[in-house]
Amino acid sequence: MVQSTDPQTSDQTADPMIEFKRQVAEEAAAMVRNGMAVGLGTGSTSAMMIDALGRRWAQGLRFVAIPTSERSAAQARGHGITLVSFATHPQLDLAIDGADEVERGSLNLVKGLGGALLREKIVAAAARRFIVMVDEGKLVDHLGSHAPIPVEITPFGWESTARQLGELGARVSPRMDRDGNLFVTDGGNMILDCAFGPIADPPGLAADIRRIVGVIETGLFIGRTSEVLVAGRHGLTRLVAA
């Protein structure tokens, strides 16, 4: 923990979580500088961050961006933000995204409840700095305490993949969309939500999951976080890994 500031009080909302998200989104957007190549995350907090960057773009800020989902890409285009690819920008200065859980101390993460975990991890891995935005309710002592671990898999043979994940101790549920159909990622894959409960060894579990044939990527983000911006009742706090 390296910095704390007083919470903003000018904009009162019925849901304090919305205000917390807005605070970290604005703080993260302020980290982008002219000429940067930036990874844009996916999810409700990232959407607020992209809108904040859109306002800065309208004021003259210029940067290029690689989004982690088609949804974030469409939002960025709506603000006029220049989008590029890894063909021209193989390394990013900064990637900014939310998280579903942040483990205190290590700052390891659970991500992927928004359905974009593979692209999110590709972007995070390409960034010199990976900044994570959360409200204080996302901080946990052990990953898996509140959120399942999303695992992106190939659709072919998914039942076999699910069985093997279950043998690791998970309660496995295929992700469904709002219409009750199997959820399909932007890359055409499936997601299995795997409830392990509190995880004693996240790096070990991540390695075990990756060894299963059919698994493309896991929502366990291990050792990738540069800094976490946390908004809560006592203001905005910055965390770095212990």
Q: Which residue in the list 26, 120, 152, 217 is annotated as catalytic?
A: 120
Between CA 211 and CA 144 the distance in angstroms is 20
Report the 10 Å Cβ neighbour count for 47: 19
Is 120 among the catalytic positions? yes
Question: Distances in Å between the alpha carbon of 199 and those of 111, 112, 167?
Answer: 15, 17, 15
**Residues in CB range of 130: below 8 A, 6 or more apart:** 94, 95, 97, 124, 224, 225, 226, 227
Structure tokens at 163: 């069985």
Cα maximum dimension of the chain: 54
User: What are φ and ψ of residue 96, in 5° steps?
Assistant: -130, 130
Residues 6 or more apart whose CB falls under 8 angstroms from that of 18 comprise none
Long-range CB pairs of 78-85, under 8 A, 24+ apart, other chains included: 78/54, 79/50, 79/51, 79/53, 79/54, 80/54, 81/50, 81/53, 81/54, 81/57, 84/37
Q: Which residues are catalytic?
A: 120
